[in-house]
Structure 1
Amino acid sequence: MPVASLFRLITLAAIWGGSFLFMRVVANPLGSAVLIEARVVFAAITLFVIALYLKKKLKFMAHSKHFFILGFFNSALPFLLFAYAAQVLNVSSLAVLNSTAPIWGAIIGAVWTKTALTKNVVIGLLMGILGVSILVGLDVSNIGENAVLPIIAAITASLSYGIASNYAKNAPQVAAFDNAHGSMWASAIIVLPLLFFFPARESLTMDIFTSVVLLGVVCTGIAYLLYFRLIADLGPSSALSVTFLIPVFGILWGHLFLGEEISLNTLIGSILVIAGTMFVTGFSWKQMTGQKLAAKGID
């Protein structure tokens, strides 16, 4: 893998791992609805400014149905569910549960196409379930019954990502940048009515405002640009390797900034989930680097 692509990959994983840190910090004072509306609006504005610079015109009305479906399953619903979960669960748990998305994607894909799961997918699924069980067991024992619904919410959010990825494969042909840009505006419209029922719980402070801006601009808007660049440089399969690195940074940021304990259960659960995801996606570091070398004519 080229050094530039490796740097983008690690940077993206660090940014997306940080998104759970910011959600953990501001989810309780703002509540899920206000937090996520601010996140998607800031992300949409960021992508709008970039679109103006790149002279990319978004044809929102021409693909409005597509943007609303993608915005609901890929942003609005999972963001809201993770924001709800972040009010109770720690950063490590959120990041690890998020990394199960490819496993759900593979299962939904098999149902969608009516094809049997392969041996590796089944092995990966079992490893993922075991890893989540270890992690979930730890959270329930530490937090109590209050952790059950947030855990279910986080798993459902990852399931939603799996639905979105399978929908995108069969969706109208829309440029990746337009998908991100259009779906963010659609997400903002979807979440907006919730603000009337779930207002902010505390007054806005500079720390909360800064966290929300970073979450929307950096962890959502700019992160999408990095991800699209990785897809262009390495292909979608290799770009998915960011999924395996996000829990590492989630655990690290939670420990460094919030003092979260890195227990043996957290490490074991994380390793099992990441390994299971690798089995499900058929990911191989050797294959990924080999493909890049072959493309350059190097044996």
Structure 2
Amino acid sequence: MKAADYARLIVLAAIWGASFIFMRVAAPAFGTAWTAEGRLLVAALVLAAWFRFAGFDAQWRRHWKAYAAIGLVNLALPSLLYAFALRHVSASVGAVLNATAPMFGALLAAFFLAERFTARKAAGCICGIAGVVLVVGPGAMDQTPMFGYAVAACLSACLCYGYNGVLMRRYAPGLPSRGVAVGGQLAAALMLLPLLPFALPPGPVGALEISNLLALALLGNALGFVMYFRLISDVGATRALTVTYLMPLFAVLWGMLFLGESLPASALAGGVLILAGTVLVTRG
């Protein structure tokens, strides 16, 4: 990897780590459905306008089924689940749990794609499970009545991310990467649109909440996806996946600096175990 590649990797991890902060601020005011829809729709429209100006053809008629499948599994469902979760848990906890996605991916790839499940991957999954127990176990965090549901939502979102890896193996060889970025988000936004009349924002919505939702859409979804696919193109998917290790570190740092969050020692130890498990799985 070149110095420019490392720089993009670190910037992307910082942006995606900050996305948990943006969600933590926006979601309690906008609610679950409006937070998810807002980030997806704004990002999709911006990317569509950008790519159209650049003369890029997403080949909608040819790939719409793939875009819809990826949009549902990788964007619509996880966006809803995380918007719900971050109304009830800290950004730091949400980000640390997000690092379990590669473990779900390894398990699902072994089941659906007959991919070899090595001893190293098994050890990584065991580390991840132990880490989750430390992060969310009794006494680890100040647990509200909704804490368990929020943790389940985070892990369900990671399961979706893992299954998206299966879909990408199946569809990605024929898909333009920029088409996935804009097509998936537009499909996801259309899927969530019917929910909005039935889930009005609980409020109050002010300038702070609006600016965080826009930052989530423009930085986390629009710019983040473009940077990620550029990294995959330049250095390959395996090296680009390194962002998974760095993202929780930035999220914890941003949470401490901007939201006054803190993680107890047991949760920090659990986060280390989850990251170690992620390394074992992705390099197994």
Superposition TM-score tier, normalisation by shorter sequence: over 0.9
SS at structure 2 position matched to 1:142: coil
CA pair 202-57 structure 1, distance change in 2 beyond 3 A: same
Cα contact 1:82–1:157 (8 A) shared by 2: yes
| Aligned equivalent of 1:258 | 259
Give the alignment's Cα RMSD to 1 decimal. Answer: 1.4
Give structure 1 stretches of 5+ with no counterpart.
284-299
Shift of 1:61: 2.9
Shift of 1:182: 0.5
| Aligned equivalent of 1:178 | 179
Distance 2:141 2:231 in 1: 39
Shift of 1:5: 0.7
SS at structure 1 position matched to 2:142: helix
**CA displacement, residues 153-209 of structure 1 (integer Å, 9 cap, x when unaligned):** 000000000111111111261111101110111011111011011111124321111
| Aligned equivalent of 2:106 | 106
Residues 1:123 and 2:123 aligned together: yes
Q: Which runs of 4+ in 1 moved over 4 A?
A: 138-141
| Aligned equivalent of 1:41 | 41
**CA displacement, residues 234-273 of structure 1 (integer Å, 9 cap, x when unaligned):** 1000000000001101100111111011321232111110
Residues 1:226 and 2:215 aligned together: no
| Aligned equivalent of 2:216 | 215
Shift of 1:139: 7.2
Shift of 1:50: 2.0
- The residue type paired with residue 169 of structure 1 is R
TM-score normalised according to structure 2 size: 0.96
Distance 2:139 2:183 in 1: 36
Distance 1:220 1:115 in 2: 30
Matches within 5 A, 1:52-71: 52-71=52-71
Identity percentage of aligned residues: 35
Distance 1:41 1:47 in 2: 10
| Aligned equivalent of 2:157 | 157
Cα contact 2:141–2:264 (8 A) shared by 1: no
Give structure 2 stretches of 5+ with no counterpart.
none
**CA displacement, residues 19-41 of structure 1 (integer Å, 9 cap, x when unaligned):** 11011111111101011111001
| Aligned equivalent of 1:292 | none
| Aligned equivalent of 1:192 | 193
Shift of 1:140: 6.5
SS at structure 2 position matched to 1:88: coil
| Aligned equivalent of 2:142 | 142
Alignment length (residue pairs): 283
Cα contact 2:140–2:267 (8 A) shared by 1: no
Distance 1:75 1:42 in 2: 13
CA pair 110-37 structure 1, distance change in 2 beyond 3 A: same
